[in-house]
Structure 1
Amino acid sequence: MAEPNVITKQDLIESAKTCIVKNGVNKLTLKAVAEGAGVTQGTVYYHFKTKDQLMVEVVSDMCQTSWDRLERMKKNSDQQVKEWIQTGLQSASKRNSSDSFYHSLFYSLITASLHNNKIREQISGLLTYENQVLEKQIEAVAGKELYGVSAEVWSVLMNALIDGLAIQSMMIEDFDANKAFKGLETLLIKQMEDNQPST
Structure 2
Amino acid sequence: MARPNVTSKETLIEAAKRRIAGHGLDKLTLKAVAEEAKVTQGTVYYHFRTKEQLVFEVVRDLCRASWERLKANEKPAAERIKDGLSSAKSRTRKDAYYHQLFLELAVLGFRNEKINEQLGELLEEENAVLAEQLSEMWKRSPVDGVSFSTWGILLNALIDGLALQSLMSPGFPSEKVYGELDAVLQMLTETAVKQHGGE
Q: Name the TM tier (shorter chain).
A: over 0.9
Superposed, 1:164-175 pairs within 5 Å as 164-175=161-172
Query: Corresponding residue for 1:186?
Result: 183
Distance 2:49 2:137 in 1: 40
Change in CA separation of 1:145 and 1:40 when aligned onto 2, cut-off 3 Å: same
Unaligned ranges ≥5, structure 2: none
Q: What RMSD over aligned residues (CA atoms) do the two structures have, in Å?
A: 1.4
Where do residues 81-100 of structure 1 align in structure 2 (5 Å cutoff)?
A: 81-100=77-96
Consecutive unaligned residues of structure 1, counting only runs of 5 or more, are: none
Aligned residues: 192
Map of 2:59 onto structure 1: 59
CA distance in 2: counterparts of 1:74 and 1:153, whole angstroms = 23
* Shift of residue 74, structure 1, vs aligned partner: 4.6
Q: CA offset at residue 145 of structure 1?
A: 1.8
2:34–2:40 contact (8 Å) kept in structure 1: yes
Percent same amino acid among aligned pairs? 45
- The amino acid that maps onto 1:68 is E
- Aligned partner of 2:5: which letter? P
1:160 paired to 2:161: no
1:118 counterpart = 2:118: no
Alpha-carbon distance, 1:182 to partner: 0.8
1:192 maps to a residue whose letter is T
Q: TM-score, normalised by structure 2?
A: 0.93
CA distance in 1, matches of 2:116, 2:137: 31
CA distance in 2, matches of 1:4, 1:35: 14
User: With structure 1 as the length reference, what TM-score do the two structures score?
Assistant: 0.93
How far apart, CA to CA, are the structure 1 residues paired with 2:96 and 2:21?
A: 8
Partner Cα distance (2:198, 2:103) in 1: 42
Provide the residue aligned with 2:39 in structure 1: 39
How far the C-alpha of 1:144 sits from its partner, in A, is 3.7
Q: Is the 8 A contact 1:74 1:140 kept in 2?
A: no
Cα-to-partner distance string for 1:75-128 (whole Å, 9 max, x where unaligned): 6xxxx1011101111111111111100111000000000011000000000000
- Amino acid corresponding to residue 116 of structure 1 in structure 2: N
> 2:105: which partner in 1?
109
Q: Which runs of 4+ in 1 moved over 6 A?
A: none
Give the letter for the 2:51 counterpart: K
